[in-house]
Every structure is written in C-alpha cells, then in structure tokens.
Structure 1
Amino acid sequence: MATENTHNSSTAQPLTIGLIIIGDEVLSGKRQDRHLHNANKLLRPRGLALSWVKILGDEPNRLEATLRESFANGDCVFCFGGIGATPDDRTRQCAAAALQVPLKRHPEAVAEIEAQFGEAAYPQRVKMAEYPQGAQVIPNFFNRVPGFTISNHHFMPGFPKMAEPMMEWVLDNYYSQYFGEQQIEKAILIHDGQESEWIEFMEAFEQEFPELRLFSLPKITDEGKRLIELGAEGQKNLVEQGIKKMVVEVEARGLIWENLY
C-alpha cells in the first residue's frame, strides 16, 4: 500500500498536532467522545503531544470553513467522523470544497470496498471511496473501508475501534521522524493549599525547568477542604527533578502532601 508522504518532512520545527472530531451526536452528548483519549494514548509513547482539539457538528458551512483554515496552517490534523455514505456524512465533500478540488473515486479504495462487500458495494457503499482529488488511502483494519490523507490531514471514521489503529498506522508511516523520548506526567496533591500562595514558586519553577509543562489544578472537596494537584509533564529525568523540587518546597512550608501518579 502506498505511503508517499504529503507532509513537510523537515524536523527543524516540532510537529504541531490537532484533532477535529465531527458529529452532531458528539455535540448533543448522545455519544461520548473517545478519540481524544485514544489520540493521547498513541501520541505520548512516541514523544508527541496534542496542541488543539475542535469538536464540530455536521453543519457543512462551518465544517468547510474550519477545514479551510486548518489546511492553511500546516498542522498535522487527525479528523474523525463524517466520511460514510449517508446524507449526514459531509466531511469528504467539505474537505474537497475547502481545498477547491473535485471528489474522485480512488481506485485502491474502490478495490478494498469491493473486496469487503462484493456486489453489495453498489450503489451506496462505493461512495465512501470518493475522496478529494489527490488523496491517498489510510487502510482500515476493521472493515476494509479506507480513510484518506491529503494535505497533512488524515480522515478516519467516527468509530474509535476503527480509527485508533488507523491513526497509529498514519503516525508510524508518515511521522516517525518526529518521534522522541516518551513524555511522562507526575503530580503531588497538596492539602490545605491555595494556588495564590504558590504563584511565585511556579514562576521560579518555570524559569528553572523551561522544558517541562507545569500544571496546577485546584480542588475543593465536598467538605470544603482545599487541595492543589501540582505536577509536571516532560522527559522522565526532568519530571523527577521537578517533583523533588516541589516536595522540598511543600515540606519546607510544613504542608501535608501525597503522591498522585
């Protein structure tokens, strides 16, 4: 199966990755999204991370405008949903309109759909082989109905069981040169703490560990007790150094703390 790269192969700049999750059923809450969770599960072991996520309904004007904008910014974008053959599946059409190219039946996709469904591929299922002109197929290991890749965008079905292995295939075949050391995340839980009391420490922490992503999540228990989840994400050795720095400071302040993860 062809794997010609359609993305910028330079590793001078880090890879910026976004998700577009499409479907009225997600916006309405009828279906709970799993793509964000699955994407992080695939990206983190490869030393990659998401920069942004958008959830859109099936409204074509908004979808086309969003795709036009994301095609222009050069990000690597994984799009989930709306590539079926029913009238409410409009992603293929909107992608073509955003790129100002026609829809064309991809021979490789037609062959896969025919191999899976035989004569039942016609007249409706074969429509799922209609991609924006110039697209390449993404193999679907679940039911052989491919997704497609074009202009740094990778379009997959809305079903997570199908989409997850397809996204993994895209990462390994198109973006392996961007893989790096696995990022980890660790945090401690500080009891009886208020974020405002930790601002100066956090500012100094970011100066000392610029490669880490510092995060602070305040919590209030049902009993009204204030807690702070304080942690960092990045390369393992740096994260461990950063957590030790936090623990030293917590203990110097005489506060109770516990490891979270």
Structure 2
Amino acid sequence: MSDTTSPRFGLILIGDELLNGRKQDAHLPAMIPRFEQRGLELAWVRTITDDPELITRTLTETFASGDIVFSFGGIGATPDDLTRQCAAAALGLDIVLHPEAEAEIRAQLGDRLNAHHLRMGEYPAGSLIIPNPINRIPGFSIQQHHFVPGFPKMAWPMVEWVLDHHYADLQAPGVRVSQTLLLSDTSEGPLIPAMERLLSEFPELRLACLPNAEGKREVELSLKGEARRVAQGMDRLRELLEASRAAE
C-alpha cells in the first residue's frame, strides 16, 4: 500500500536507441538513489520511441495525471528532437523562444550561434528554465513536468536542481525506510494470510514479496514506509508468522 496523499514521481525515457538495443538506459539506476537520498521514490517509468504521436499522447496522459514527471531526451536541435514540440501540442500551447534560455544559449555559443541553436530555447509558452551546469543550454519545466537532455552528465545534476528547488518541501531523508525479512524453507502461498492481516493493520506500509528465482525455497518479505511504522510492522509480521507456524 502507498501513501495516496503524496504526489507520485515518474520518468519518461525517450529514444529509439533505448528500444532497439543500441544503448542501455543509465537514467533509472542513477535516479533511484538520488530520490532515495531525499526520502522520495519513483512510482513509474515509461520508455518510448522518438515518435511524435506517441510522445504527445504519453505527455497528454501524464499532464492529466497530476504526477511529477521528469522527461529525458529529445530537447536538442536536430530533426529527431521532438519533445519540446510534443509537450506544447499536448498542452495546446504555442511554442516560443524563452528569453532566459536565449540569453543562456547566446552566452554559451557566442559567435558560433545560429538559428538551429536557438531552437533549443523554444518551449511551450509559460515554461520555466532548468539551468544546465555543463553547457548552459537549459531544460524547461511546465505543469510539474521537467524536461532535461538525454546526456547523463547534464541531465542528472539538472534533476537534482529541480528536486531541491521545487520539491524541497516533499523531501524527508531518513524518514522512509525499508526492512527485509528472509524466510527459508517456505514458498509465498502459506504466507498470504499473514501478509493480508499485516496490510489490514498497517495499510500505509508497502509490502513486497519476492520468491527466490533460482528454485530455492526462500522468500523475501520487505516493508517500506515511515521508519517507526516499519519497525512496528516488522515486529507484527514476525508475530503473525510465528503464530502461523505454531498453527501448522
């Protein structure tokens, strides 16, 4: 079970190369510890191709969800970089050159600047910029969606900046914890009544049941949530399991 009062965080990973095997995604494994360090967690991840219809449809759904979303990739200047236009289409907004983004791009490129470079500063009207500490070409934010480059060196500090500047009030490092209990000589079936009873008593905790994938009769039971309640829930889980064994 999860805390439905808290906003959910999601990731959108955009790029044909992620789905045809030319490139392995590095963003998800990098984001998980960054969220955990701040007492936050990811609720979902979508990986999609550079298809403008699919990108627009995906963003239309996620804008309507109320979730906080980080989108990686597709905000460069080449013809296959379509995320900016798709975000504008999903919101029914014009795409305009952002004055702060223009200033950053001009400052970075100087005499090398051309019209193609300025495309990278065109966002849906009303967007805010996300500073890029590597090359000063910003990302952008609108309606709790945050768009960053696909390059990890740039994207990851930009996500951290957004989390710490826009969502500091949601952070609670050390408050949410996870504890795991490894049970041997059992399968998940006999544990179901104890798990159901536990969740009825601790509905705010998230329980995960993971059987051994190598054929051993082992099951991991994990509880995640507020530290005090996780400790109480784990104690209660042990009691329920002990009572179950005694009744066999």
Hey, what's the Cα distance between the residues in 2 that align with 1:112 and 1:100? 26
Q: Does 1:207 align with 2:207?
A: no
Measure the CA separation in 2 of the matches of 1:174 and 1:145. 20
2:180 is paired with a residue of what secondary structure? strand
In the superposition, the TM-score normalised over structure 1's length comes to 0.85
| Partner in structure 1 of residue 189 of structure 2 | 196
- Please give the alpha-carbon distance, in whole angstroms, between the structure 1 residues aligned to 2:139 and 2:129: 6
TM-score by length of 2: 0.89
SS at match of 2:212: strand
**8 A Cα contact 1:16 1:76, kept in partner:** yes
Corresponding residue to 1:102 among 94, 106, 122: 94
Equivalent residue in structure 2 for 1:89, among 67, 71, 81: 81
Q: Which residue of 1 aligns with 2:229?
A: 238
Q: CA deviation at 1:19?
A: 1.4
Distance (Å, rounded) in 2 between the aligned partners of 1:59 and 1:133: 22
- Offset of residue 198 of structure 1: 0.3
C-alpha RMSD of the superposition? 2.0
Cα distance in 2 between the residues matched to 1:188 and 1:235: 17
Structure 2 residues not aligned, in runs of 5+: none
Whole-Å Cα distance in 2 between the matches of residues 149 and 220 of structure 1? Answer: 41
Tell me the distance in 2 between the aligned counterparts of 1:235 and 1:142. Answer: 36
Task: State the match for 2:146 in structure 1.
Answer: 154
Q: CA deviation at 1:248?
A: 4.8
Structure 2 counterpart of 1:236, which letter?
A: A
Assess if the C-alpha contact under 8 Å between 2:39 and 2:176 holds in 1: yes
Task: Confirm or deny: 8 A CA contact 1:220 1:226 kept in the other structure.
Answer: no
Deviation at 1:243, TM superposition (A): 2.8
> Hey, what does 2:71 align to over in structure 1?
79
Distance change (3 Å), C-alpha of 1:13 and 1:197:
closer
After superposition, residues 1-261 of structure 1 pair within 5 angstroms as 13-180=5-172, 182-221=175-214, 224-248=215-239, 253=245
Task: Tell me how far apart the structure 1 counterparts of residues 34 and 190 of structure 2 sit (CA, whole Å).
Answer: 36
**Identity percentage over the alignment?**
49
In 2, Cα distance between the equivalents of 1:15 and 1:82?
25
Number of equivalenced pairs: 241
User: Which of structure 1's runs of 4+ aligned residues deviate more than 6 A?
Assistant: none
